[in-house]
Structures are given as structure tokens and as C-alpha cells.
Amino acid sequence: MQGHVTAEDGVRLFFVRIGNGPQVVLMPNGIPLVEDFQRFASGRTLVFYDLRNRGRSDAVADVSRLKRGIHNDVDDLEAVRRHFGAERVDLIGHSYVGLTVLLHAMKRPPHVSRVVAIGALPPDSGKEYPPHLTGSDGVLPDVLAQLSALQKERSGVDPTEYCRRAWSVLRRLYVVDPRDAHRIRWDRCDLANERSFMGYWTESLLPSIRSLTLTARELAAVRMPVLLVHGTRDRSSPYGGARDWARLLPDARLLAIEDAAHAPWIEAPDVLGSIETFLDGAWPEAARKVSGDSTPP
């Protein structure tokens, strides 16, 4: 089933629903990941949807409807929950949307049963981590250099073609083994919202994220179980941030995926089985509590 949810300010969010079980799982920004995550539909209702100004959701020209950045996405998630009439939902968020679902759980804990945050951005956006907790290697500088060179050649290039060229470079960033890069299929270059995403990211989303410094006191409301899934060599979101989340949240465990980057379920297929175990109500065997400082090796 496909359709739209209307947010409080009238912006329409495109969704895909799979399954009709009593357990409702929402995955914001999850439509590019439907193929990978639809296995969870047995006995559940999965709702994958595009965030505002993303994918097939409405393009938003009025900047006043974008300036709150990630906080708009948190409120829109609540609109999706109400649309599907679910009193309580499970949430799965990847990358910066991992932060989105955790903020929603903090703001509306009575309506959230469980949270899975994969490669989530850290709770303190300004914190610097040592190299062994950042996935630091030579790939990121090389990717940035290639993107810079590509940008210089952008004039006269069809926007869709430029988007595809950029993603042919970016894919390497999200996996450790370059042979897995072709499995990153997140570009959606046929959609105008996705072709113009970087402007929205830098002008609205990133400033709203950088303003956050979440403390244990603020996160005390997130009392539901939280599974943090993170590649130890994630170049996009530091592994140290996952350790901080696991340390600060009242009931969280970290599933650390060795030698994986920003798409750990691609590089370690058993990750999906671990997530399903968690959605079924149990902690995966490999998930661990974290205590103390976030910086030990």
C-alpha cells in the first residue's frame, strides 16, 4: 500500500506500508531501504516513509516549514503514528534519522515501545573522538577530493547525471570493502527532492543537529529498550557516538559490528537477524551494555 500522510502544517509525506500485523514499526526515510528491511513484515505492519522535502514527499518551497530542521522530522513522525492509529510503535532510524527517532522517543515516550538506531549521529554534535572511534582512514579525504573535482565540472551537466556521478563516488564511503559499494542504492537521482538535498541539509538540517548537546538528564525519559547498531569503522557517524548513546540512555545496548562502516547490515548480514530478535522482544546475544567513558579502544 502506498499513500500520503499529511503533517500538521499541510506537508504531505509519501509512505509505503508492508504487512498488516499488530506490531507497528515506523522507519522514517526508509523507502530506499525497503528491499533490505521488508523481511520484518511477518506479524508486523511496516511503514517506510519519506521525510519532508525528501523523496516523493512534497517539495517545500516555504523556508519557514524547513527552518526547524530535524525537529520538523520529529513532529512529522508523530503525525505518521497518529495516521496509522497505533498507540505504541517501534522505531528504526538510520544515520541522522537514528538521531530523529531517539529525539522522538525522548519527546513522546508513552508512544514508543522499542528503538533501533543504526549508525546514529552522536548525542553531542560538537564532541571530537579519537581516530580509533571515528573510522578514520584514507577513504574519506579521497572521496571529498573526488567530489570537489566533480563539483568544478558541474556546469552544463544534467542534474540527474551529476547526481549519479556524485553517488558513484559517495558509495565507497559507506562500506569498508569497496566490493560492497554497489549495494548502496540510496541515490534516487530521478527525484528532484533528492537531487537538491545537499542545500536542504546544509541550510536547515545540519544547523538544527549542531545545536544539540543531549545529556543523561534529558535522555532519562527514554526508558524503553534501545538497540544501537554501529559499524566500528563508520566514517560518516563516529562509533564513539554510539558508545555515548549506550552509556547515557537508561536501557540501551550496543551491537558493535567489527570492520563495518555506515551500512553494517550490508557488510554483516546477521545484523538483520539481530534486529529482528530485538523487535521480537529480546536482546541480541552480541548486544552489550556500555559504562564509563566513551573513549577506550
pTM of the model: 0.96
In terms of Cα–Cα distance, which of 194, 210, 203 is closest to 67? 203
pLDDT of residue 294 exceeding 90: no
Please report the pLDDT score of residue 291 as a whole number.
85
Q: Specify which residues 26 forms β-bridges with.
A: 47, 91
Mean pLDDT, residues 170-192 taken together: 96
Q: What grid cell was written down for 292?
A: 564509563
Please report the pLDDT score of residue 293 as a whole number.
59
**C-alpha distance from residue 203 to each of 7, 22, 120, 123, 167 (Å):** 21, 39, 20, 20, 21
The predicted-structure confidence for 249-289, as pLDDT tens digits, reads as follows 999 999 999 999 999 999 998 999 999 999 999 999 999 99
Mean pLDDT, residues 171-193 taken together: 96
Q: Is 203 helix (H, G, I), strand (E, B) or coil?
A: helix
Domains contained in the chain, CATH given: 2-135+204-279 (3.40.50.1820)
Provide the pLDDT confidence category of residue 153 given band limits of 50, 70 and 90.
confident
